[in-house]
Amino acid sequence: MNVLVTGGAGYIGSHAVQRLLRDGHTVFVLDNLVRGHRKALRAIGLGTNDRLRFIEGEVTKPTAITRAFRQLPFDCVMHFAALAYVGESVDQPLRYYDANTTGLLRILQACEKFNVRRLVFSSSCSTYGDPPEGRIPVDEDCPQHPVSPYGRTKLAGEWLIRDFAESRRRAGKPFAYAFLRYFNVCGCDTTGLLGEDHEPETHLVPILLEVALGKRERVDIHGTDYPTPDGTCVRDYVHVEDLIDAHVLAMEKMRDGEGGAYNVGIGKGYSVRQIIESARRVTKHAIPSHEGPRRAGDAAMLYNNPEKIRRELGWSPKHTDLDEIIATAWRWFSANPNGYES
Ligand code: UDP
């Protein structure tokens, strides 16, 4: 297939590009390189593999999008380009709505104009907010009441896509889509080529590894008074390669005009303290921690019920051991202490 990957130079997007190339697809990347890295694309074949091409540009700008869509007749768009920090979204909601919602709107306008009929959309478990009692583990029918602007941009995106798909159905030009509601993505590709390198970094696992590398003094635990077993937030940590597996399965199994939402998480919840303990075991560093206040926009407890994605897409995670998942990230971080600039 010809696949347009927006945000393909970023952490998750680059892992998708690597996998799509490995599977024999032709990949076109559109990325603004604000949080992505040209070096990530070089590591997996930019300049040497003629099935990989790249345009630097904004998904919010019609000119950049039109340029990208003119390159090839795309069979599918994987839309990763987005801002993805819960805390930052509370302070900068307009920036988040612009990047995430306007960006998606522009992609859908181009899908209409260029008659592209398949989309895999990066949604989020944060669209569920704090699930009502009895709804954890979370399944796809859980009510969606996001508690952060980031989560709301992703929920708005889901509705935008549903409405667009309905209009295309009525026009006799069926549009198929999958919303993949990511839980907490972490780990790095097991061949060691690709990593996670964000500026600024706010995600827990990379922060812990930066403390282990001596690049930060300590990790701040954002809240110890949550109604969870040890008082810290509980999340479901899924390896990036398993997440990408879900994208590929969704793309391959998509049927004309049909749409579906799938949670992507392994089905186990770990607290912030458990993640810190795991990072200490894996890195063999002390990783000092400090108990701080809650971070705005965080839900207390979220982990997945993977039943639907197993049943309908045949997905099951290959990486289920927490230490092993974090070890894949540690391998890259310790080999590349300055990220892609190493
Ligand atoms: N977290 C933390 N300290 C940090 C970063 C994150 O305690 O320096 C917590 C955060 O409050 C959340 C969990 O770790 O409960 C996962 O946060 P992350 O930012 O990695 O992912 P998110 O859940 O926001 O997508």
Q: Where are the domains of the chain?
A: 2-341
Q: What digits encode the pLDDT tens for the residues 88-140?
A: 999 999 999 999 999 999 999 999 999 999 999 999 999 999 999 899 999 99
Which atom of ligand 1 is the closest one to the Cα of 302? Answer: 23
46 vs 289: CA distance, rounded Å: 39
Ligand 1 centre to CA of 19 (Å) is 27
202 touches ligand 1 (CB under 6 Å): yes
Q: What digits encode the pLDDT tens for the residues 268-314?
A: 999 999 999 999 999 999 999 999 999 999 999 999 999 999 999 99
pTM of the model: 0.97
Q: Does residue 342 surpass a pLDDT of 90? A: no
SS (H, E, C) 271-329: EHHHHHHHHHHHHCCCCCEEEECCCCCCCCECCECCHHHHHHHCCCCCCCCHHHHHHHH
Active site residue 85: no
pLDDT at residue 23, as a whole number: 98
The residue whose CB lies within 8 Å of the most ligand 1 atoms, and thus the one to mutate among 83, 273, 295, is 295
Half-sphere exposure of residue 35, counting CA atoms within 13 Å on the CB side? 19
The residue whose CB lies within 8 Å of the most ligand 1 atoms, and thus the one to mutate among 85, 219, 222, is 222
Place of tokens 């949670």: 263
pLDDT at residue 30, as a whole number: 98
Ligand 1 centre to CA of 232 (Å) is 10
Catalytic residue of the set 11, 96, 128, 150: 150
243 vs 263: CA distance, rounded Å: 10
The residue whose CB lies within 8 Å of the most ligand 1 atoms, and thus the one to mutate among 181, 235, 264, 277, is 235
Closest residue by Cα to atom 1, ligand 1, is 204
Nearest to 77 by CA among 44, 43, 104, 40: 104
CATH of the domain spanning 2-341, picked from 3.40.50.720, 1.10.10.60, 3.30.70.141, 3.40.50.620: 3.40.50.720
CA of 63: how far to CAs of 36, 66, 83, in Å? Answer: 20, 5, 20
Closest residue by Cα to atom 12, ligand 1, is 233
Closest residue by Cα to atom 19, ligand 1, is 203
265 vs 241: CA distance, rounded Å: 12
215 vs 85: CA distance, rounded Å: 20
Phi and psi, residue 37, nearest 5° = -135, 125
Q: What digits encode the pLDDT tens for the residues 327-340?
A: 999 999 999 999 99
